[in-house]
Amino acid sequence: MRTAPLAASLLAALAVAGTARAEGGTIAGKVEATPAKYLPETVVYLKSVPGSRPARTHQMDQRGMQFLPHVLPVTQGDTVKFLNHDHVAHNVYSPDGEGYNLGSFKEGEAASFVFKKTGVYTQLCSIHPEMLAYVFVGQNPFAAAVDAKGHYVIKDVPAGTWQLAVWNAHKLKAPDRSVTVAAGKKLEADFALKR
């Protein structure tokens, strides 16, 4: 009977079509800032993308009297685990959004927080006031902090037309851009941030 091979061929074709639909595109580019010293505290992100995905856990370390990474993009509902690899006790707190204080913890210990609201959360240490970092909580996972030269890459973006925006801790601004992403393709989008 020929039904079984035909059914198998049909299922294989559907699987390939489903994979093609699920394949995302990439948005990459470069951000320049005036003044340039404020560039490292910048995130490029898509404003609103429908759908959801399982919550993830990210890590932010305290090492060398710094929060690492300095800027951490996450998605609403994600958890950040704050580690301590310094030889001294640290504290993690934020006055922003929901506001929290995770108390102090020693080398090798950790504390976690679930970010339920979108926004930017300043990360501070009450023991070492010079320590500063940011957790950028987006509506969706399509965000990237820029590197030291201003480059960013956002992968697996669903095909469609989206609003691409930039956040900067020092309130440097650039207009949002409408971008159309095609499955399996790379799109270049640059920004110039100014006051």
Q: Which tokens go with 192?
A: 């110039």
Is the pLDDT at 19 greater than 50? The verdict is no
| DSSP-derived secondary structure letter, 158 | P
Nearest to 116 by CA among 142, 79, 167, 83: 79
Model confidence over 67-99: pLDDT tens digits?
Answer: 999 999 999 999 999 999 999 999 999 999 999
Model confidence over 139-148: pLDDT tens digits?
Answer: 999 999 999 9
Pairwise pLDDT comparison (23 vs 175), residue with the higher score: 175
Count CB neighbours of 21 within 10 A: 10
Query: Strand pairing partners for 122?
Result: 134
The CATH architecture one would assign to domain 52-139 is Sandwich (2.60)
Nearest to 72 by CA among 140, 123, 124: 123
State the span(s) of the chain assigned CATH 2.60.40.420: 52-139
CATH topology of domain 24-51+144-195: Immunoglobulin-like (2.60.40)
CA distance 152 to 190: 9
pTM, two decimals, is 0.87
Is the dihedral angle over the CA atoms 101, 117, 28, 33 positive or is it negative? negative
Segment 163-176 mean pLDDT: 97
Distances (CA, A) of 19 to 13, 15, 139, 184: 10, 6, 25, 11
